[in-house]
A and B are shown apart, each in its own frame.
Chain A
Amino acid sequence: MHSCDLCGNPATIHETAVLNGKKLERHLCQRCAVKMGMVVNEVVPVAAMLQQMLGPAEAETTPDIDSVKYCPTCRTTFGKFRSTGLFGCPHCYVAFAQQLMPLLERYHEGGANHIGKVPRRAGAGMKPQPGPAPRNSQSDGAGASSSPATDAHRDICGPAELSPQERLARVMALRNQLEMAIASEDYRAAASLRDELINLGDPELPRSTRRARPANPSADPAS
């Protein structure tokens, strides 16, 4: 019989997740599970789920500094996001970086870094905005404001940062998939796997399969 990881009461909810090959177990009581935003009911609408994770905005007893924060681009407040579950514009991700990261990790079960497809012109769609400037998201850096960015802003605007172990696990998995794709003559899949390996800077990638990806500043295989 497990007790709740958080409060020590008898645990009724047991969750096993496999993350990067490691088995993670969580044991929670009903109350903490709801607090953690784990989906306890069969289907919970997304907005309700977010609300569950964040707690209802109006239930705060002290004036909540977060809920009056707003995105400088579209003026959506964090309180508004809480109640609807929707951001107002892409720049909200930068404006609310600090509040958002723990939420994302919880919702995406530990996932906090994008892995997967990268548009060829990554970053071209987001012009720098007033307020903390997106760093690294602009290949030319033109117009980047010099105002000091917080850690959270730096994190969210920077490249995906995998730990060395994560990176290695990822590279190994991708190499396997690449072999399989080539074996099954799925060249389209192979090409995208190769691109992803290049992005990760896989040193063992045969030289002939490398190619320049000028659009992505964080993907220089040589560095």
Chain B
Amino acid sequence: MYDIKETFRANSVPEALELLRAHPGAIPVCGGTDVMIHLKERKLRQAALVGIMDIASLQGIYLEQTGDLFIGSGTCFDSIYQNPLARACVPMLADACNQVGSPQIRSVATIGGNLCNGAVSADSVPSLLVLNAELELTSLEGKRVVKAVDFHTGPGKTVLETDRELLTGIRIPKASYEGHGGKYLKFGQRNAMEIATLGCAVNCALSPDGTIRDFAIAFGVAAPRPIRCAKAESLMLGRRPTGALLKELRRAVLLECAPRESWRASLELRTQLIQELAERASRCAIEHAGGSLDD
């Protein structure tokens, strides 16, 4: 038996928000692949759970009139991976979604839960950061939009006001994916059922002359929260992609990361991975953007 005080099931976003307001401390549950584990580990006790898995408006992927891609927060990883729009617009994100857990997990675990759980190792997050994703937080009073890069505040912590807000959707601006190439690389000890030791996502676009027009790089598990490396990014702009430039990038990203030692990996390994994944993900992303590397 789980240590649960009471459970509710909401059929709409307003109903879920009413329940969250009426029951302070209640936790929204969609796939439950994080929340139920927290209960199991007794990190959560006497929980009040608000089931949001039946809210149809939280599920689905579509293009808005502006060309921005909208992903409902309750969309499960497998649905994103299988979705033709997601695969066409943001293949790096679709592939990242397919690297979470196992098939059974990906059929229930959602991208919104991956964000709200606040884990630094969340597989979908580095890609969302480099795609300049915007998160739609809904309360009974209205909506606010927070950039994905500003969402996490520390391990397991986010700006979401959990007693009155629900993450309802993720918007990926057209300007961030059109003409871009991207890649998410995950390092783990095995291929399935693995929490990332380190994750790195790169999204870039090239000018007609072959120089780098846009470049974004983000890491998971390289700092207390998922991060972008703004200084390293600016170093890449306007430059021709070469092996030498990627060597510069390897050094630059380290200055903005704050990796730690854990039972999963030593500091030395994480430092090595930050550099190696930065270079490898960049190579793939540049190729996906239609470029080639002059070595």
Do these two chains really belong together in a complex? Answer: no
